Chain A
Amino acid sequence: MISSVNRRNFLKVAGGAGAGLVLSFYLPSKNHEFLGESPNESFAPNVWLRIDPSGTVTITVAKSEMGQGPHTYFPMIVAEELEADWKSIKVEQADAHPDKYGSQGTGGSTGVRTSWENLRKAGATAREMLIAAAATRWNVDRLSCYAENGSVIHKPTKRSFTYGQLADDAGKVPVPQNPPVKDPKDFKIVGTWVPQLPTADRSTGKAKFGIDTKVPGMLYASLVRCPVFGGNVASFDATKAKAVPGVRTIVQIDNGVAVLADSTWAAMQGRDALDIKWDNGPNASLDSDKIRKMFEEYSSKEGVVGESEGEIAKALTAGAKSVEAVYELPYISHSPMEPMNCVADVKSGSCEIWVPSQTPQSAQDVAAQITGLPKEKVTVHVTMLGGGFGRRLDNDYVEEAVKISKAASVPVQLLWTREDDMMHDFYRPASRHHLSGAVDGSGKLVAWNHKMIGPSIGEQRSPGRFKDGMDRSALNGATEMPYSIPNYAVSYVMANTAVPIGAWRSVYRSQNIFVVESFIDELAHAARKDPLEFRLQMLDKSPRLKKVVETVAEKAGWKKPLPKGLGRGIACASCFGSHVAEVAEVSVEKGKVRVHRMVVAVDCGIAVAPNTLEAQIEGAIVLALTAALKGEITIENGRAKQSNFDAYPLMTIDEMPKVEVHIVNSYEALGGIGEPGVPPAAPAVCNAIFSATGKRIRRLPIVKLV
């Protein structure tokens, strides 16, 4: 029963007669930024709230949970305004739906930002309805009642009803249009250290990831793809594979051959026994050296200017001192600990999918296309995600699982091996950067020129999309610099290759900000200025960032001398609506870099969930340092040379620095938190290496140079 609709507010979908109170509410979905799509301003309900007569408050979360916390911070925000008893909160993961929940895409550090207002309103709406229901029952003035810890209390008489007792009645109350929200200074849950709701399940083996899905009659599938990018099967002989015990059937789909078996192991063994002749296609001779040379050649091209001011050519030569540098970054992989996987069950009139995806709606679209079914016949269940970092924005594994299930007419679990996962990633693009800058006699930065040469993710996804050779997102982090520089230019030379690329936590910012913050450091030294002071004098137009830079410097003891052998470096960034500064302390001994301490200051407006925030910053640092210190996918003979963690090592516990996170609550506009910790980490470390050794790192990973 739909009793009232207000496109900008709430929609009560059910109520009364044992159903309790069910609210859904509209959230503006602006979260397409991470894919470079235009913001979608339409309003659709993407949070659902149910209070049933037992008192349980169920919050349906339509964002994917991969450790970044929506299963905790969504309920925190609702419970805050609802004055709910935290113990009564239950979370349900939403299936994919084209419009019921707005955008379910999980990326771009958008979770809190896009839902904050509406989650608060939702909680406040339900609270007001419960209070109204209680006042009616007692026949008293609504203003003499208040809500607290899951009950409504009548102040003068101290009588109370629990939310469960009121749920049915509340469902009959008209939906208030402008329920008051709390003053942030009265928050009891938001801003406090709340343990994540899924923690117990994650500590006991009960958490269900995609890989843990079992459905009746399911076969396990392993799919061989051509190791060369763009290659495919020429012919294959399955005789030996069929002879492997446990192998049930073999099907070919458009990008490879799948072995279906009674167990994962049998499927993997069968797959290894396949005799396949590959048609390697046009990229068989592609390698990292060629790509590097191509970038170098392209660097002589005139870039398309993304941003400029003043007279850059003149300023570069008129400065007292000028510096030039070339920076290079390699391809790197996402490699979440849970390899790509998907369970699909395609039947004649329906398709059911279980998948750890960051974009379940696209999974639904793609399955509908492949099966020819209308979307409402395609059910997509979202499991827990064993990491994502942007890899699970793509649904290539869903496509494959659906095709295999369709071809074999059985439910299948497609599990990628680690080798599949590392060799068929959408890598963070490699890039090359030409920088020049000049400082004047007083040590002021007067000219800045940054040319970025590298592939465009957007162009690879839809060729021909950028008519003028300009993909603005490739310059993210290079443009909109927080510093005031009188003359500057930032330009892009698109240099596409056949290596598949995609969004990697903070996307182009993790490369561009590495370059920007390293080169700022170079110029500070050229100007004989302290790198901190050099930055601060240019940050007046960015007060929030300036504040976190000052904070991090103070907390890190920037002015205090370090013991011999240690170096300190600073870097900062404003991105995803947040402002972050990091100070690294490193030592270099016998060529080995060791990061001892990372001090971070962050302003994301209000730290809604400080626990998750700290964990996200710490995680971002580990991901960024792993990339900076060791990460490189090299291309050889048209394929990724590294295929597992023996050749692509990750940072380990013994290498882990101390991480200190300082939250600066500015109470300004909210920012995201999943990604902003990444970009400053690598430059802070490289700037620290310079201060410790005098060696400037201009090519990642660091392991190659020191």
Chain B
Amino acid sequence: MASISLSVNGKKETIDVQPDTPLLWVLRDTLGLTGTKYGCGIGACGACNVHMDGEVTRSCATPVLSCDGKSIVTIEGLEQNGHLHPVQEAWIKEDVPQCGYCQPGMIMSATALLKKRRHPTDADINDALSGNLCRCGTYNRVRKAIHLAAKNGGAQ
């Protein structure tokens, strides 16, 4: 066991688990933050995406040991002072989700993209989101919502 300190959604956490435990399971099982999803466990679907120090990170392929001292943001942490993130607002406006399972991962990719590119092109969106699989096929609405969020100042 190892004791690892990290910040999750602005809260300091000290975690005592096997150091090779992927961040995904620490978030879900240890901290009860179930918004981050398991889809493949091999870094191939993006369902588990979170931000680590602002960068999109596959939490299923990130041993918690490597998160020591880092700042993690999950889907639950996007809301600020009771306000949804502009990307979430856009998601709701465009009614993006079908089953919804891949959506937290999609939204984490989208929010990180908008931080880097205030007005992403379709090519930027393809680059940033092509690692997010959606079996329900919400891709076109995802694209629309990202453009809408950009218009509404989604870079927050």
Are A and B part of the same complex? yes
8 Å CB interface, B50-105 against A: 74-76, 78-79, 84, 88, 91-92, 95-104
Determine the residue in chain B with the shortest Cβ distance to A422. Answer: B40
List chain A residues, Cβ under 8 A from B17.
Answer: 263, 265
Known A-B contacts: A265-B29, A336-B99. Give 15 more (CB < 8 A). A200-B92, A202-B97, A205-B34, A206-B35, A263-B21, A264-B29, A265-B22, A384-B99, A418-B42, A618-B138, A622-B139, A644-B44, A645-B42, A652-B129, A656-B140
Interface size class of B (residues with CB under 8 A): 35 or more
CB proximity to A under 8 Å, residues B124-156: 125-127, 129-143
**Is the pair A387, B135 in contact by a Cβ cutoff of 8 Å?**
yes
Assuming A246-B18, A654-B130, is B44 touching A611 (CB within 8 A)?
no
* Residue on A nearest B39 in the bound complex, by CB: A337
A562 to B142, CA, bound (A): 28
A264 CA / B32 CA spacing, docked (Å): 12
A214-B32 contact, Cβ under 8 Å, with A66-B99, A195-B92, A387-B99: yes
A659 interface residue per 8 A CB criterion: yes
Nearest CB to that of A389 among chain B residues? B135
Q: B46 CB to closest chain A CB, in angstroms?
A: 10
Inside 8 A of B125's CB, which chain A residues have their CB? 653
With A196-B97, A246-B18 as contacts: A205 and B36 at CB distance below 8 Å: yes
A622 nearest CB neighbor, chain B only = B137
Please state if A418 and B41 are interface contacts (CB–CB under 8 Å).
yes
A residues near B47, Cβ cutoff 8 Å: 337
Asked if B30 is an interface residue, CB under 8 A from chain A, the answer is yes
Contacts of A269 in B (CB 8 A): 18
Q: Are the C-beta atoms of B45 and A209 separated by less than 8 Å?
A: no
Closest to A205 in B: B35
24 A-B interface contacts by CB (under 8 A): A199-B92, A199-B95, A203-B91, A205-B35, A211-B34, A263-B17, A269-B18, A335-B135, A337-B133, A338-B101, A418-B41, A616-B98, A618-B138, A618-B141, A619-B136, A623-B137, A644-B40, A644-B44, A645-B40, A645-B133, A646-B44, A653-B130, A653-B132, A656-B140
Known contacts A199-B97, A337-B99; A265/B18 CB under 8 A: yes
Cα–Cα, bound, A358→B135 (Å) = 17
Interface core residue of B25, B76, B136 (most chain A CB under 10 Å): B136
Distance (whole angstroms) from the CB of A419 to the closest CB of chain B: 8
A442 interface residue per 8 A CB criterion:
no
CA distance A208 to B100 in the complex (A): 10
Smallest CB-CB separation from B75: which chain A residue? Answer: A205
Kindly state whether residue A67 has any CB partner on chain B within 8 Å: yes
Residues on the B chain within 8 Å of A204, using CB: 35, 75-76, 78-79, 84, 88
Query: How distant is the Cα of A338 from the Cα of B103 in the complex, in angstroms?
Result: 12
State which residues 386-406 of A face B: CB under 8 Å: 386-389
List A residues at the B interface (Cβ < 8 Å).
66-68, 195-196, 198-209, 211-212, 214, 220, 245-246, 262-266, 269, 335-339, 384-389, 415, 417-418, 611, 615-616, 618-623, 644-646, 650-654, 656, 658-659
B37 interface residue per 8 A CB criterion: yes
Asked whether A338 and B99 contact (CB < 8 A) given A263-B17, A619-B137, A621-B137, the answer is yes
Q: A211-B34, A265-B21 are in contact. Are A623 and B135 (CB under 8 A)?
A: yes
Cα A384 to Cα B35 in complex, Å, equals 13
Q: A265–B103 Cα gap in the complex (Å)?
A: 23
Is the Cβ of B101 less than 8 Å from the Cβ of A337?
Answer: yes
- Is the CB–CB distance between B99 and A652 below 8 Å? no
Shortest beta-carbon distance from B70 to chain A in Å = 19
The residue that B74 contacts in the complex, of A67, A203, A205, with Cβ under 8 A, is: A205
- Any A CB within 8 A of the CB of B12: no
Q: Nearest residue in B to A195 (C-beta to C-beta)?
A: B95
**Min CB–CB distance A660 → chain B (angstroms):** 10
Within the complex, what minimum Cβ distance (angstroms) separates B149 from chain A?
11
**Which residues of A have CB within 8 Å of B126?**
653-654
CA distance A621 to B134 in the complex (A): 13
Partner of B100, one of A198, A417, A620: A198
**Residue pair B142, A653 in contact (C-beta under 8 Å):** yes
Residues of the B chain whose Cβ atoms lie less than 8 Å from the Cβ of A203: 84, 88, 91-92, 96-97, 100, 103, 107
Are A338 and B88 in contact, with the CB atoms below 8 A? no
Contacts A199-B97, A265-B21, A337-B133 given; does A615 touch B30 at CB 8 Å: no
CA distance A33 to B30 in the complex (A): 43
A417 to chain B, nearest CB (A): 6
Determine the distance from Cα of A338 to Cα of B47 in the docked complex, in whole angstroms. 9
Least CB distance, B63 to chain A, in whole angstroms:
10
- Across-interface contacts of B11 in A (CB, < 8 A): none
Bound-state Cα–Cα, A339 to B18, Å: 24
A207 to B44, CA, bound (A): 23
Residues on A with C-beta less than 8 A from B40 are 418, 644-645
Q: Is the CB of B140 within 8 A of A659?
A: yes
What is the minimal beta-carbon distance from B54 to any residue of chain A, in angstroms? 19
Q: Nearest chain B CB to A586's CB is how many angstroms away? A: 17
| Alpha-carbon separation in the docked complex, A656 to B95 (Å) | 18
In the bound complex, residues from chain B placing their C-beta under 8 Å from that of A336 are 99, 101, 135
B-chain residues with CB within 8 Å of residue A67 when the two chains form the complex: 97-100, 136
**Are A196 and B95 in touch, CB under 8 angstroms?**
yes
| Closest 6 pairs between A and B when the two form their complex, measured CB to CB | A205-B35, A622-B137, A202-B100, A67-B98, A386-B101, A67-B99
A385 contacts across to B, CB distance below 8 A: 99
> In the assembly, what is the distance between CA of A107 and CA of B30, in Å?
36
For A651, the chain B residues whose CB sits under 8 A away are 137, 139
Which B residues lie within 8 Å of A644 (CB)?
Answer: 40-42, 44
Q: Closest residue of chain B to A647, judged by CB?
A: B44
B134:A337 contact, CB within 8 angstroms: yes
Q: Which of A200, A206, A338, A621 lies in contact with B37, CB distance below 8 A?
A: A338
A388 to B104, CA, bound (A): 18
Is residue B117 within 8 Å, beta carbon to beta carbon, of the partner chain? no
B55 nearest CB across to chain A (Å): 19
Q: Name the distance in Å between A388's Cβ and chain B's nearest Cβ.
A: 8
